[in-house]
Structures are given as structure tokens and as C-alpha cells.
Structure 1
């Protein structure tokens, strides 16, 4: 028997040993990854994962799932053809990330660190900011037209009084003479706190407030003729038209901002 022939079985043994080592490593990784009690068998396509998450997160897309993979929050397996295959545990990790983003406005860096702690069996610190209060699964927010106190805003959002004061000085929220704020201030504070976690302070957001006020002035000019009519029905039409225009302005602003960010490369 030639030397080459004698080597072939040894090379095959080495390859088998390498494959077994890789399988063992995957097994160890799965044993460590959270949630341990959920199946790690890669049995779901990316479309199946999307279908599972859509009822709870209607805005989630396949692009978002791929992005979470790129950020290291989940590691689906690949088939021989290159298709992603997810496990039930992968789906739960994605659900955890999406929930943390939606309810606590946490940046992905913090979410990734929390998942790493869970993988290692360490307890994670409860989020002290942007606390979400729920009732029957719905966010508790003041009704349209309601006025809320500074204490109520802090309780609903998890912000501190000092943080709220900073936002008030920046003009993001405005209190009336009795020190009460419009109900929508809760959403404003939540958004400002999320930006703060990314290094955007309240004082940097003054231009956003100024831009919003300019757009509101334009909307007021458009609907003024309708509001000037004395009937209650006309005033209701004016209010509805103003709300619709506000949504259109918000949509346009969002698209223009995305386009500008895309240009940054």
C-alpha cells in the first residue's frame, strides 16, 4: 500500500474529528445561550419567525431580523444553500430585543450586554429609565387633552425630576401656570430619553421643537378658514384636517431624515 493510500484514512479521521469538535462546540454554545429551556433546534425559516413575531410587533420586517443578526443578538444556522434557520430560542431572543427597544428604549449595545449576561446565567439589572406601565398589555398614556403633573410624567416614563427640568428648559415640554403638562408630554419625554441614551442631550433637540412649531404655524394657516366658520361641525373638520396634516408632515420629515442619513454612507 502506498504512503498516500495509508494517509487517506488518517485524513478522514482528522476531518471527522474536526466536525465532531465543531458539533461539540455548537452544543456547548447552545447549552450556554439563553433561554436554555427553549428548543435550540434550527427548525424555523426567517419567514416563520417573522410570522410568529408580527402579531406582537407589527412593524418588524425581515430586514430588521437580519440587522439583529448583524449586531450579534442572534445567530441563526445556515443551510447548505445559505438559508437562515432559526430555533425557538432564537425567536425568544429576538422577542426580548424588540420588547426592550419598544418598551424601554434601550440601545442594541445594552440589549446585547443583557443577553450576554443571561447567557452566562447572571441576573440583569432592571431598567431604571423609560419604565413602561401597562394595563392589559396596553401602554398607559394620558388621554388626548389631559393635563398631567411632573410627578405623573416621572412615574409613567421613569425619568427623574432633573431630567424633566432639562427637557423643560430646552422647550421640549411646556408646563402651564399650574405646573401641569399636556398629556402628550409623556411620549415626548420617552422619545427624548431614548435619544439621551444615544448621546443626544435635550439641549440638542431645541431645533426639533422649533421646526415642529414652524410646521404647526403652517398647518394653522391652512385650516384657519375652516376654523373661522362658527359651526361646531366646521371646527371639528378643522381639527381633523389639522391632525391629518400633522401626520403627513411627520411622515415627510421621517422620510427626509432617512434619506439624509442614507447620504451619510
Structure 2
């Protein structure tokens, strides 16, 4: 983004409306607010999001970035959308553009604003990692159902026994298929296919995130994660198209 375009973006009315756009925080101050929900957020990740055109902080005459409460909320929205819905940055940028234009009603999931003292005003969105009971409540099923899908390998918990937020969707989709008589054991093939796709994605992004040390290490990991998200979205679209083509052949 050119400097003139950045200035135009910063001056234009932008979501969240009614939230202070006075640049009162340096990048450390912005991080201190974001770390309440995103403990792993870093300076390099914030700058990466700026490079993606998701936020345009004020620049002082000496070139330092200064952030407003509105800037921080845009960052929080983008991070939550990527974490909870695995949206590509391009899609998140489009969502923000819709919000800026007042065309998204209601705002996309995950939006909330913070008060002048940095407190969150709206109810928090679901956490990034859920217990089995939280997954069951969100999916509207019994905990035994979560245990069953975990035993078949469709759900995978981390070392702490918690599940990614996307597990709620997996349970719901599995239940929809079960209503058509598709047993959980038949879904193992889908799990295996997804794992093979992830292996391919990991091979592709490995060179990008290979830098483990130095000031650009966090930036490399952020770029690798963004690339992996984009690749996954494309693979999902291709898979849907392949299934659709197969259905068309049944006519």
C-alpha cells in the first residue's frame, strides 16, 4: 500500500464507528490490550496485519506508529476471525471493507468493541480452545458424543485435553451425516484425507517458516500461517467442486 493510499484509508470513515480514532497508544500499548485475548500476539504479527491492509495506524513525523482504540478493535476482529473461523486474510479484509461501507448487517461474527479503559464491552466470543463439555454444549449434544468422535479420530484434543473451536462444527456435520445413516467409522476416511492434505500444506509452507531464530522468526511464522490458511481454503473449494462434479455425473 502506498503512503498516499494509506493516508486516504486512515482519513476515511471506518468501522468500528463511534469508537475513538485518536491515536493514543504505541505498539506496546496496543499489544497489552490484545494480549488479553491473544497471548501469542507479537510486534511482527501486528506489522504483518498492517501489511495485509487490515489496519492503518497513525504515523508520527518521526515515523513511529500510534494506535487508536478503533485500530485495536480492527486488529482484534481480524485475529478472532482467523482464529475462530480460519478465514483467509483476503476474506477478512473483504469483511472489514463491508463493515467500513456499512453494508454488513449485522457485523460479521466475532466483532466487539473495547471501552476507553480497554475493557471489553460485549460478551466474549468462544475461546480458541474448548473442553469436551464446552464442545458438547455448543454443539447441542451429550459429552458422550464428543468422546465417541474423539475415539474415532474425527476430533483431536491437544496435550491439555482441549479442542479447537472448529470442533463444534465437526460435531454438527457428523450428526447431520449420521441422520443420513452414515456411521462415524465411515468418517475416518475423511479424517485421513484431511490429514494428507495438511501434510501437503506443511511441506509447502515449511521453507517459509524455517527461520527459527532472529528478529524475523515471528514474521516468518505469521506468513507461513497465512499461506497455509489460503492453501487450505483453495483445497476445500477444489474438494467441493470435485464432489459437485461427481454428483452431476449421477444425473
Q: Which structure shows the higher helix fraction?
A: 1
The structure showing larger relative contact order (alpha-carbon pairs under 8 Å, at least 6 residues apart) is: 2
Higher Cα radius of gyration? 1
